[in-house]
Amino acid sequence: MRKTYLVLARLIALLVVVQAMMIVWAISGLFKWIDDGETLDKSVMEGWESEPPTFDGAIGHFLHALVLGQGAIPLAGLLLLIVAFFAKVPRGVMLAAVVVVLIVIQILLGINSQGTPLFGMLHGLNAFLLFGAAMAASMAAKETGATQEAPAPAV
């Protein structure tokens, strides 16, 4: 179970990195699309779900928000918390709970950032906190494994 905890914690950290990559890809593609003469206006925004723009990276927004942000990362966080109760990692449950709370905050900040742009800035900051918490959880699991696997000293 400790190995599962370790893998899930590292997976969450990796998914946060991929999620950041997806949104930068989407924004970069959007800027190029605008530079190429297209216009981002209210009609494009309102029709985004039924007729999404075709710029390179447009899928990055969908992957960032729905697939990773509201799908894979919350699922991995929930699994990490469940596994934490059985993994016997020191502070493992507490670290997993911190990861889950940061995921919930991340989702709320992301959803509400359109109405309050300041939340977008906090959404970016919280991503770093989430990455750090996931890495702390993985390091706790790795340290536990190192101490458990060390041979007993000869007497």
Q: What is the pLDDT of residues 56-110, one digit of tens each?
A: 888 888 888 888 889 999 999 999 999 999 999 999 999 999 999 999 999 999 9
What six digits make up the tokens of 116?
A: 């309050």
SS (H, E, C) 124-149: HHHHHHHHHHHHHHHHHHHHHHHHHH
How do the domains of the chain map onto residue ranges?
A: 2-146
| Predicted model pTM | 0.86
Q: Distances in Å between the alpha carbon of 7 and those of 2, 45, 80, 139, 140?
A: 9, 38, 9, 11, 12
